Chains A and B, each alone.
Chain A
Amino acid sequence: MSDKVTLQSVAESFSRACGVPKKVAEQLARAFFDTVVDGLSNDESVKIDGLGTFRVVEVASRESINVTNGERIVIAGYKKVNFIPEDGLLVSNLVSDMPDVREDVVADDEETDVSNDTDETDIEETSEVDDETEDVSEDITTSEDEEPIDAVEAEVNMVEVPEKVEVQEDEFSGIDMLICTPESVEEIRLELEQARADAERKLIAAKEAHREVLRLEALLDKMEKSMVPECAEEEQTPETEAEPVPAMVAESVAKENLTIYEDIPSVAKEESAVETADEGQKAEEVAQTPVEPVEESLETVETPSVVETAEDENVTVNLEATTEEPSSEQEESTDVAPAEEDTKSAAEEAVQSTDAEVKQEDVTAEGAEENKDAQAEALNRLLSDKSAATPEPVRKKKDDGHYWIWILTPILVILIFGVSVVMYKAHSDKEKTELKQLPVEPKNHATPVKKQAPVVKPKVETDSIQSNTNVPAETTATEPAKSKAADNKSTAKPKTYILQRDETLTKVSRKFYGTKDSVRAIIRANKFKDPDNVPYGTEVILP
């Protein structure tokens, strides 16, 4: 529509673009379309790569009406050439379509940004958790960190792959379509710049992602390193000794930590059975008989966290320590007992441990108390040490922010629920009382007839009789009274009634018989000439 370009000018631009002589170019252009015409004239479709398909289509003959004289005419069928452009013929060359490509690129960038953001948040969260709790939570977080890293790597791959593909596409399109002319060179340059900018942007994004991966890896290494010295230290002190075992376990399987805690005792119990027997004998020697089950239960609790050798070391170290500071360790034991209960309860909530375990824990708590009573005895000290040694790791394992949340949130929820229930109850009670009070008040205001009607029946009858006698004059009797009057019409009904203003026979019937169906009877009794138009003041005989 805008400006027409002849084939010559196209050929000219083509010749400029490829350095082909103008004459040759024009010749080629002519020949190009001549061959197409030749192909089409043989009733063939001509397919040209990069341009499209020319096809001969038959147009059926059709009837039409001559507009000038209204005659019907038949437009003869003919053949026409249909051209189906190849996909992307214009798209690859159109400037107006460039924004679409850009939009795609932008979308890609956004996706990468989002992924980076999520990674950062993950890291922040984990680091926060690390600051708060350094013991077992580390293991969990590290194992959690591993997953994000994989995800990040996957994302990086995802980002990189499409990038390459796009670049290739750009190159192809450039080679296919844009060559030689200064215009085309400029266009290519523009495209190149765009592509380069996009590539750079994506590269930066990918680099960032890669950096995140590195950072995460470094974090993981650090955590692992920090765990190793802990293990070394833990051998020296019995309190932290229990940590490495769950820690290692936690490393291997993060989320199944708790289930593993459950699993370990079953394995470790068998190993520790011998030891329990030995120590049980020791207990028999010095301590009373009731202490035995306590000790055993204690050890069964111990075993999940402590390995055989570690336990031996525990005992020896504890013995030494107890000789030095018996009082402080007993305190520890007493302190630990409730803490243990808390942690265990948390564990129960989290893992839903069996009732038997709970009982064991209770017994351990009792045992701790018993130890407190029997302070003088060395074996008891040992026991207390054990209780001090065993519950503490347990507490350390589970004394995370997570478990506090586990404990606190249900309590809070219950509290809130309870308060709300109490409030609701109080409120509803108030409302009830109000409701009770409310209906009483209108009764007080109501007419004496109405008030007395529901209370006692014999009274009602008499009252209604009275009201019925009064009503004709007043004409303001209430409905219940009316109904009652209808019930007792045989006694209450007067023989005649003077029709009031704006009162119809129907109303009268309703007033004295309760229904409007008695109108006919009234009319029959009175023998009205015009029952539809009875003047007020007339005396109506009530049958």
Chain B
Amino acid sequence: MTNTEFIKSLSEKTGMTAEQLEPMVAQFIGAFARELASGRVVSVQGFGNFESREKAERKMYNPTTKSYKIIPKKVTLNFKMSATLKDKINS
């Protein structure tokens, strides 16, 4: 399902046009991402939990060059689906 298809199906559900929806979806995602970026877990009922995790800085050893490389810390987004979603998908 591509973005356009997603918007189309969303418009069918909400009764709004795709033109209306597109900026709204973008803004919603923005709000969603900001919540995550501030380090909070966003749990969507019936769907799953979104969690941003900070990966600490670590050293990596390159055996061929025998040198250590520092990999800087980064933030990853982790998603864990809920049990209901699992049931739905596996049913």
A residues in contact (CB < 8 Å) with B = 1-7, 9-11, 13-14, 17-18, 20, 25, 27-29, 31-42, 44-52, 56, 78-83, 85, 89-97, 176-181, 183-184
Contacts of B50 in A (CB 8 A): 83
Cβ contact within 8 Å between B13 and A179: no
With contacts A47-B6, A80-B86, A178-B30 taken as known, whether A95 is within 8 angstroms of B41 at the C-beta atoms is: no
Task: Give B4 Cβ to nearest chain A Cβ, in Å.
Answer: 9
> Quick one: closest A residue to B43, CB to CB?
A4
> Quick one: closest A residue to B30, CB to CB?
A177
> Quick one: closest A residue to B77, CB to CB?
A85
A11 to B6, CA, bound (A): 19
With contacts A32-B25, A35-B6, A35-B13 taken as known, whether A1 is within 8 angstroms of B34 at the C-beta atoms is: no
Task: Give B82 Cβ to nearest chain A Cβ, in Å.
Answer: 9
A10 to B47, CA, bound (A): 15
A32 to B26, CA, bound (A): 11
With contacts A90-B33, A90-B77 taken as known, whether A6 is within 8 angstroms of B28 at the C-beta atoms is: no
Contacts of B46 in A (CB 8 A): 33, 37
With contacts A38-B9, A39-B6 taken as known, whether A5 is within 8 angstroms of B35 at the C-beta atoms is: yes
Cβ contact within 8 Å between B24 and A28: yes
B66 within 8 A of A: no
Cβ contact within 8 Å between B24 and A18: yes
A442 to B73, CA, bound (A): 72
Cβ contact within 8 Å between A2 and B35: no
B56 within 8 A of A: no
Question: B41 contacts which of A1, A81, A82, A96 (Cβ < 8 Å)?
Answer: A1
B residues in contact (CB < 8 Å) with A = 1-3, 5-6, 9-10, 13-14, 24-52, 54, 75-77, 79, 81, 85-86, 88-90
With contacts A7-B43, A56-B89, A83-B79 taken as known, whether A90 is within 8 angstroms of B28 at the C-beta atoms is: no
Task: Give A3 Cβ to nearest chain B Cβ, in Å.
Answer: 5
With contacts A10-B31, A31-B14, A90-B77 taken as known, whether A47 is within 8 angstroms of B2 at the C-beta atoms is: yes
Contacts of A10 in B (CB 8 A): 28, 31-32, 35, 42
Closest 3 CB pairs of A and B: A83-B79, A93-B37, A14-B31
Contacts of A89 in B (CB 8 A): 33, 36, 77
Cβ contact within 8 Å between A32 and B10: yes
A10 to B90, CA, bound (A): 28
Contacts of B39 in A (CB 8 A): 2
Cβ contact within 8 Å between B10 and A35: yes
Task: Give A312 Cβ to nearest chain B Cβ, in Å.
Answer: 73
Question: B3 contacts which of A7, A38, A48 (Cβ < 8 Å)?
Answer: A48
Question: A17 contacts which of B9, B27, B42 (Cβ < 8 Å)?
Answer: B27
Contacts of B1 in A (CB 8 A): 39, 42, 44-47
A96 to B75, CA, bound (A): 9
A97 to B33, CA, bound (A): 14
A518 to B51, CA, bound (A): 91
Task: Give A279 Cβ to nearest chain B Cβ, in Å.
Answer: 75
Cβ contact within 8 Å between B28 and A28: yes
Interface centre among A4, A35, A45, A46 (most CB of B within 10 A): A35
With contacts A39-B9, A96-B75 taken as known, whether A7 is within 8 angstroms of B88 at the C-beta atoms is: no
A95 to B39, CA, bound (A): 10
Question: A37 contacts which of B10, B27, B85, B90 (Cβ < 8 Å)?
Answer: B85
Cβ contact within 8 Å between B37 and A180: no
A48 to B26, CA, bound (A): 9
Contacts of B33 in A (CB 8 A): 51, 89-90, 92-93, 177
